[in-house]
Structure 1
Amino acid sequence: MTSTPPRTEKRIQPITSRTSQLFDDAREATEAEHQLGLLDALKLYPKAVGWSVLVSTACVMEGYDMAVIGQLFAQEAFQKAFGVPSNGGYQITASWQTALGSGGYIGVICGILLNGYITERIGMKKTLVLAYIAMTGLTFILVFGETKDLLLVGQILCGIPWGIFTATAPTYASEVCPVILRGYLTTFINMTWVIGQLISAGVFRGSPWWLLRKGRMEEAEHSLQRLSPATDTKKTLAMMIRTDEQEKELDRSSYWDCFKSVDRRRTEVALMTWAIQVFAGISMNQYKTYFFQQAGVSGSTAFDISIGYYGLGCIGTLIAWFLMTHYGRRTIFLGGLALMCITMLTIGFAALAPESNTAAMWAQSILLVVRVFLYDSSAGPLAFCIVSEVGSTRLRAKTVALGRCSFYFCKLERQDVFFYGGTCFLSLLWAYFRLPEMKGRTYEELDILFRKRTSAREFASTHVNAYDEA
């Protein structure tokens, strides 16, 4: 029976000499990542891509379950079971609609914050397995709950593993794949929100970054070898060790450290980027049928439009992959916000037309579909990519957790397109001055750019050679 490798953290000796073999290996690995093309990366990292996609599909559970409760409010059977008599039928009271709609978010916030601590202690693999087990048991509360109180308790408790899923996926995707694939696999998470599919839970490869931070070098190298057998894992590990060593000198490990020194700016980007998903009107998705009906569209037609609504969401994410490869994150994010602002203001002005104006009603419905396409080809998927990249490697899980919490703390349940047009414009201003371009940068290069307090508008044009900084 083989002995278990020690789990205590090892102190890695600083790299001080340019003749160091570790230094040379790290430099060669960094150069290799920059030269790696998309197709070559897919060939070299098939397992890393596969595990990343599998872990990301867990977000389908949150995307579906958080939205389905709002859809149930309009179902006659649900209204009869949990509603009160109203106008010859049944209706869920406004207070209970708010409670049931918000219960899941309370649990998600708790799960996200817990994830930041748990993953650093036991790793993402064990954290997700425990979350799957918890989800299996807690689901029975929702299945067999016959009162509104039980449904509320079930929503809150189920929200905890949902929060773990949504916080773990972008962190894992950003850590197991090279720079060229990072954008694709983190934005894929957005697609899982709009795809209805079953989740297959299983055992996946541990994150080599987490193993490295715990001093388990042999296991980290073994994880790299299994994720990408064709690459030089020793050089890749050397690059990771060098990045970790530089960040370890700052001794950062708590949530409070996310708001100190240079990490404060990185946390700001994470908080704002995910909050902007709310400011861009994501809450309107829950009320799309309501908007369509208010626009005078029949119930059956509204359903057909809803199908196209989600279909365009998937297509938008695929287009975002192409756009960010050629134009970067910042440009697409800014362009999407600008177009969404114009679209929502146009919807608002069209809504001022009298109900007899059929053309105006159809214009509103069509523009709502256009808005979701713009969202899912810009701010929607890119938020996952940006937040997963912006945090330092030692604080990434906590940075992602804080960013995701900002999404739920800022969650607005408004149905006012003029309001979202205004928040979209304010978000555009923030993004122009504060959102940096991180396309094609290794984590070590990002550390240097943030440490030098490089302007957001100069991130893309600033030349960085991490090995001239040594």
Structure 2
Amino acid sequence: MASLHCNSSVNSDANDEIKEKTASEMIETVAEPRGRVEVQESAWDSAKNSPKVILYSIGACASSMLWGFDIGVNSISTSLPGFKMVFGYEYQNELLISASWNALWTAMTSLGMLIGSIICGWISDRGGRRLGFAIGSAVSLLGVGLEYAANEPGLLLAGKIVNGFALGFFLTLSSIYASEIAPTPLRPALTAAVNLFINAGQLIAIGIGNSRFTIMSPASYKVLFAAQWSFPCFIALVSIFMPESPWYLCRKGCVEQAKKSLERLHLKTTDTSLILEDIQATIADEQAIANAQQNASFMDCFRGTNWRRTRIACGMFAVQQFTGIAFYSQALYFLGISGLPVALTFQLALGGFGVAMLGNIVSWFIMNYVGRRLLLLTGIILNALCLMSVGVAGCFTSMAALYYIGYVMNFAQLFYAPTVGAVSWTISAEVSSIKIRARTQSLAIVTNAFVSWVMNFIAPYLINTDQANLGGKAAFVWMALSFFSLIWAWFEVPEFKDRTYSELDDLFTRKTPTRGFRKQVTGTRLDS
């Protein structure tokens, strides 16, 4: 998994030819449709013809399960009496975790993710996707070790940061790898699988934590930390056997290795030479436009049409947080200090994450028919309405209102998971240009980490009884953010359904209006 040393010229004849062409002429060249045979294939037929692609994509996306488990650990540990006895304090005859400690506890992972995702883009662009997974696994093993050994807050937070660093690698690479090896009909399902595994990780953590509530020693929560070791071990094993991304290899000029990678990813009956030609043609087209318009640099993500694509990729993860996921993740702790029976809060959490996994699987099927944009807009609206109802219920002090808040906070995943939760990962993975995909996705995960850090830092202060003590009324904050997200998504996020990467390049290059992506035919210039 060392860095590759190949001829960096992807298509030397094409690159020589574009020197004599203007940027306008190159845009006309890119407009030629490619890959339409692949799109015309149904998702079911594509799945039957690509079992190994599905297997390796699932292996890559499974790395995101560690983040879900980490989120679950954050929620569960602050509810365990054994954890509160070590890291909490007594307030009005009740064990509490201070708002500042709770905020730091949930935010340190995001800080590590922010750093890790930036470095991952640089490493994976030079050493490959497999090397990135291997490095992330090694760092995670260290981070989990620090968490397990910690008996005081400083070391525990250090472990969270280190493990978050690894998560920055995993979350950046999982959607990149799946999007680069998946045929167009399978791309929505395989990239959305990231969110499925995040929910699965949370469900596993809740299941383990549910059996530790009666234990009053540090063993109650240390077993949760130890269980995290299984994830980097699995990911390290997968990285040994997984083929390198053919898109990465072609960009490095390693055409023969890319061909071998495609042969490992597809059945013997598949003509991989056609796939290889399409990859080379798309990369050559993007490089041609970049050469014709400007000199390539690290700042490409913020220049020209790439800036629009970067905004969308990053904005999707801001939308995830703005629609209330940080508020929902506080359900176990909040409901516990509000007086709801502890056993019920765990049962609701298990049921909620089970619904989330089901909803994510449903999204695989409806995304190919409904499209990304409609699912996103619908999901934002439904989550805003859920948050509004929780806020209204929070204005009352009855047990009926508390029960209502408990059920809605956990089962809001019924609306969130198949819409915003799943679509965000798919759109973010699809929207960037091939040439700077790793860097764009790194910026997207940085945005995810930063906004997640802010939201998770604020949430405990809004909820804690010794702070703002808003209770359910805190939902109004995320309701307002949801309506802001709706306005942004309406004007900014286009429809990517059934579009190949070369077609998306064409549509963005022509500055196609947001609502024109669905109906615009590639290869024809817009009148406007």
Q: What is the TM-score of this pair, normalised by structure 2?
A: 0.81
In 1, distance between residues paired with 2:448 and 2:109? 13
- Higher mean displacement: 76-85 or 169-178: 76-85
Residues 351-376 of structure 1: per-residue CA shift (max 9 Å, x gap): 223x23x4433333333234221110
Deviation at 1:255?
A: 4.1
Whether the aligned pair in 2 keeps the contact of 1:295 and 1:364 (CA below 8 Å) is: no
Whichever residue aligns with residue 286 of structure 1, its letter is: S
- Higher mean displacement: 339-348 or 177-186: 339-348
Whichever residue aligns with residue 14 of structure 1, its letter is: A
Whichever residue aligns with residue 342 of structure 2, its letter is: G
Residues 14-54 of structure 1: per-residue CA shift (max 9 Å, x gap): 1879xxxxxxxx98971321221112211221111101101
In 1, distance between residues paired with 2:262 and 2:404? 52
In 1, distance between residues paired with 2:35 and 2:183? 10
Deviation at 1:271?
A: 1.3
Give yes or no for the alignment of 1:396 onto 2:437: yes
In 2, distance between residues paired with 1:339 and 1:137? 40
In 2, distance between residues paired with 1:221 and 1:392? 21
1:84-103 to 2 correspondences below 5 Å: 84=89, 86=91, 91-103=96-108
Give yes or no for the alignment of 1:186 onto 2:186: no
Deviation at 1:69?
A: 2.7
Where structure 2 has 5 or more consecutive residues not aligned to the other structure, the ranges are 19-30, 205-229, 464-473
Match of 1:364 among 405, 414, 420: 405
In 2, distance between residues paired with 1:35 and 1:170? 23
Match of 2:498 among 436, 440, 452: 440
Deviation at 1:313?
A: 0.5
In 1, distance between residues paired with 2:89 and 2:409? 32
Structure with greater helix percent = 2
Deviation at 1:146?
A: 1.9
In 2, distance between residues paired with 1:293 and 1:92? 12
1:142-181 to 2 correspondences below 5 Å: 142-181=147-186
Deviation at 1:129?
A: 1.2
Whichever residue aligns with residue 135 of structure 2, its letter is: L
> RMSD across aligned C-alpha pairs, in angstroms?
2.4
In 2, distance between residues paired with 1:146 and 1:290? 21
Whether the aligned pair in 1 keeps the contact of 2:139 and 2:162 (CA below 8 Å) is: no
Residues 385-425 of structure 1: per-residue CA shift (max 9 Å, x gap): 00000000011111111111112222213351111111111
The answer to which structure, 1 or 2, has the higher relative contact order (CA under 8 A, 6+ apart) is 2
Whichever residue aligns with residue 179 of structure 1, its letter is: T
- Higher mean displacement: 97-106 or 394-403: 97-106
In 1, distance between residues paired with 2:305 and 2:254? 28
Give yes or no for the alignment of 1:221 onto 2:264: no
In 1, distance between residues paired with 2:163 and 2:404? 38
1:259-298 to 2 correspondences below 5 Å: 259-293=302-336, 297-298=340-341
Whether the aligned pair in 2 keeps the contact of 1:295 and 1:365 (CA below 8 Å) is: no
1:378-389 to 2 correspondences below 5 Å: 378-389=419-430
Whichever residue aligns with residue 410 of structure 2, its letter is: V
Deviation at 1:95?
A: 2.7
Change in CA separation of 1:88 and 1:434 when aligned onto 2, cut-off 3 Å: closer
Partner of 1:463, secondary structure, is coil
Change in CA separation of 1:27 and 1:47 when aligned onto 2, cut-off 3 Å: farther
Whether the aligned pair in 2 keeps the contact of 1:253 and 1:395 (CA below 8 Å) is: no
Partner of 1:215, secondary structure, is coil
Whether the aligned pair in 2 keeps the contact of 1:343 and 1:367 (CA below 8 Å) is: yes
1:452-463 to 2 correspondences below 5 Å: 452-463=510-521
In 1, distance between residues paired with 2:98 and 2:520? 56
Q: What is the percentage of aligned positions where both structures have the same residue?
A: 28
Deviation at 1:99?
A: 2.3
Residues 117-140 of structure 1: per-residue CA shift (max 9 Å, x gap): 000000011111122122223321
Change in CA separation of 1:147 and 1:254 when aligned onto 2, cut-off 3 Å: farther
In 2, distance between residues paired with 1:435 and 1:31? 23
What residue is the counterpart of 1:125 in the other structure? Answer: 130
Partner of 1:119, secondary structure, is helix
What residue is the counterpart of 2:378 in the other structure? Answer: 335
Whichever residue aligns with residue 225 of structure 1, its letter is: E
In 1, distance between residues paired with 2:10 and 2:369? 40
What residue is the counterpart of 2:61 in the other structure? Answer: 56
Whichever residue aligns with residue 140 of structure 2, its letter is: M
What residue is the counterpart of 2:275 in the other structure? Answer: 236
Whether the aligned pair in 1 keeps the contact of 2:111 and 2:450 (CA below 8 Å) is: no
What residue is the counterpart of 1:41 in the other structure? Answer: 46
What residue is the counterpart of 1:22 in the other structure? Answer: none
Partner of 2:507, secondary structure, is helix
In 1, distance between residues paired with 2:421 and 2:351? 17
Whether the aligned pair in 2 keeps the contact of 1:271 and 1:402 (CA below 8 Å) is: yes
Deviation at 1:379?
A: 0.5
In 1, distance between residues paired with 2:336 and 2:96? 18
Change in CA separation of 1:316 and 1:193 when aligned onto 2, cut-off 3 Å: same
In 1, distance between residues paired with 2:503 and 2:63? 31
Q: What is the TM-score of this pair, normalised by structure 1?
A: 0.91
Residues 327-353 of structure 1: per-residue CA shift (max 9 Å, x gap): 100001001111111121122112223
Change in CA separation of 1:236 and 1:164 when aligned onto 2, cut-off 3 Å: same
Residues 186-220 of structure 1: per-residue CA shift (max 9 Å, x gap): 00110111113653232211000000000000011
- Higher mean displacement: 124-133 or 161-170: 124-133
Residues 55-107 of structure 1: per-residue CA shift (max 9 Å, x gap): 11111111211441342122221222233455567544333322222211111
What residue is the counterpart of 1:299 in the other structure? Answer: 342
Whichever residue aligns with residue 258 of structure 2, its letter is: A
Whichever residue aligns with residue 197 of structure 2, its letter is: T
In 2, distance between residues paired with 1:9 and 1:295? 61
Whichever residue aligns with residue 7 of structure 1, its letter is: C
Whether the aligned pair in 2 keeps the contact of 1:345 and 1:421 (CA below 8 Å) is: yes
Where structure 1 has 5 or more consecutive residues not aligned to the other structure, the ranges are 18-25
Whether the aligned pair in 2 keeps the contact of 1:291 and 1:365 (CA below 8 Å) is: no
What residue is the counterpart of 2:486 in the other structure? Answer: 428
Give yes or no for the alignment of 1:111 onto 2:116: yes
In 2, distance between residues paired with 1:102 and 1:9? 40
Partner of 1:280, secondary structure, is helix
Deviation at 1:142?
A: 1.1
Whichever residue aligns with residue 382 of structure 1, its letter is: V
Whichever residue aligns with residue 306 of structure 1, its letter is: A
Change in CA separation of 1:371 and 1:91 when aligned onto 2, cut-off 3 Å: closer
In 1, distance between residues paired with 2:4 and 2:317? 38
